[in-house]
């Protein structure tokens, strides 16, 4: 990680970042990607967590500039919600038992304990969501439904983090290829990923830990960013938002530098030069032309 916070370097030049978090359940010991931005007062969050107890827990945390609603975000239709033994694996798609039983731990974690009929809401129809620069989605297979029900929000987003599966753990769910094709069609490029994550094929177990996989990739979180070849078309504040998200959340220093390079060339404000000097620990020349 860099030894400095970009938001500290930018100071008052840091624009407010609006964040939408769909599937906002907070797991014990988890440090949410955007926490540091909230603490610094440069972000606002509207989150959605349909499991009422988990949504209440989030609101009791009293995070500044963050509020959470117990909505099922999707395509706006009536759906069946599959509540599973481990609630973080609950979904609008039915767990696919015949595939799950091939792997350790998943059949137990994803066993359905209750089903209910729920009304989903399209993201575009929710008045609380007035803007979005960073869109985070983790809804166990229903990510593409959320995108399609929130196309105006997707069109505003600069950075998107979404979980997607490589293997259909839920019946009929879209897979990574479907999500990737959709987001590329909306002007995003795949920047990075975390993981991939998986489990061993049963009955193989590594170090007596059922949660450890060997090679089979099952899912991962993917980070998409607006097409870097079109950065010159973005407003300066949006470029700075991309730089902040890249630097603070993903340690993507080169992408942050590219965004600031565009700003410096446009405004002659020395942001890229200052950033590179901080990274290198020595004075840097002004930003070179892009391309």
Residue count of the chain, please give it.
291
Per-residue pLDDT of the chain in tens (291 residues, 90 and over written 9): 567 999 999 999 999 999 999 999 987 777 777 999 999 999 999 999 998 999 999 999 988 899 999 999 999 999 999 999 999 999 999 999 999 999 999 999 999 999 999 999 999 999 999 899 999 999 999 999 999 999 999 999 999 999 999 999 999 999 999 999 999 999 999 999 988 999 999 999 999 999 999 999 999 999 999 999 999 999 999 999 999 999 999 999 999 999 999 999 999 999 999 999 999 999 898 889 987
Specify the number of domains making up the chain.
2
Answer whether residue 52 is part of any domain: yes
- Whether residue 239 is found in the same domain as residue 271: yes
Residues 6+ apart with CB under 8 A from 122: 73, 74, 75, 76, 149, 150
Say if residues 49 and 73 touch (Cβ distance below 8 Å): no
Answer whether residue 220 is part of any domain: yes
- Whether residue 134 is found in the same domain as residue 173: yes
CATH of the domain at 110: 3.40.50
Question: How far apart are alpha carbons 32 and 135 in whole angstroms?
Answer: 13
Reported as a single tens digit per residue, the pLDDT across 154-183 is 999 999 999 999 999 999 999 999 999 999
Domain limits at 198? 15-226
CA–CA distances in Å: residue 33 to residues 24, 30, 92, 136, 249: 11, 9, 25, 10, 6
Backbone angles phi, psi at 136, to 5 degrees: -115, 130
- Whether residue 255 is found in the same domain as residue 130: no
- Whether residue 63 is found in the same domain as residue 192: yes
pTM over the 0.75 mark: yes
- Looking at residue 1, its pLDDT comes to 56
Question: How far apart are alpha carbons 225 and 218 in whole angstroms?
Answer: 23
Show contacts of 46-49: CB within 8 Å, 24+ apart: 46/18, 46/19, 46/20, 46/21, 46/128, 46/129, 47/20, 47/21, 47/22, 48/20, 48/21, 48/22, 48/23, 48/24, 48/73, 49/23, 49/24, 49/25
- Whether residue 150 is found in the same domain as residue 195: yes
Residue where one domain finishes, among candidates 182, 211, 226: 226
Straight-line distance from the first to the last Cα atom of the chain, in angstroms, rounded to the nearest whole number: 27
- Whether residue 143 is found in the same domain as residue 270: no
**Element (H or E) spanning 254, and its range?**
helix 253-267
């Amino acid at each position: 990680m860099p030894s400095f916070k970009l938001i500290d370097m930018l100071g008052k030049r840091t624009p407010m970042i609006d964040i939408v978090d769909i599937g906002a359940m907070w797991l014990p010991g988890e440090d949410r990607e955007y926490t540091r931005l909230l603490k610094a007062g440069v972000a606002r969050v509207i989150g959605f967590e349909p499991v009422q107890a988990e949504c209440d827990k989030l609101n009791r945390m009293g995070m500044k500039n963050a509020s959470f609603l117990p909505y099922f975000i999707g395509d706006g239709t009536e759906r069946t919600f599959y509540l599973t033994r481990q609630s973080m694996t609950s979904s609008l798609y039915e767990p696919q038992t015949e595939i799950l039983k091939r792997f350790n731990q998943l059949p137990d974690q994803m066993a359905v304990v209750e089903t209910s009929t729920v009304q989903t809401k399209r993201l575009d129809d929710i008045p609380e969501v007035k803007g979005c620069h960073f869109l985070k989605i983790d809804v166990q297979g229903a990510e593409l439904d959320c995108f399609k029900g929130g196309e105006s929000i997707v069109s505003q987003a600069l950075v998107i983090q979404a979980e997607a599966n490589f293997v259909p753990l839920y019946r009929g769910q879209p897979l990574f290829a479907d999500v990737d094709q959709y987001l590329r069609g909306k002007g995003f490029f795949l920047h990075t990923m975390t993981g991939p994550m998986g489990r061993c094929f049963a009955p193989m177990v590594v170090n007596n830990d059922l949660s450890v996989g060997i090679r089979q990739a099952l899912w991962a979180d993917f980070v998409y960013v607006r097409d870097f070849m079109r950065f010159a078309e973005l407003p300066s504040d949006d470029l700075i938002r991309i730089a902040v998200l890249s630097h603070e959340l993903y340690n993507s220093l080169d992408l942050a530098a590219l965004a600031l390079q565009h700003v410096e060339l446009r405004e002659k404000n020395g942001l890229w030069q200052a950033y590179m000097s901080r990274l290198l620990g020595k004075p840097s020349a002004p930003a070179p032309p892009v391309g």
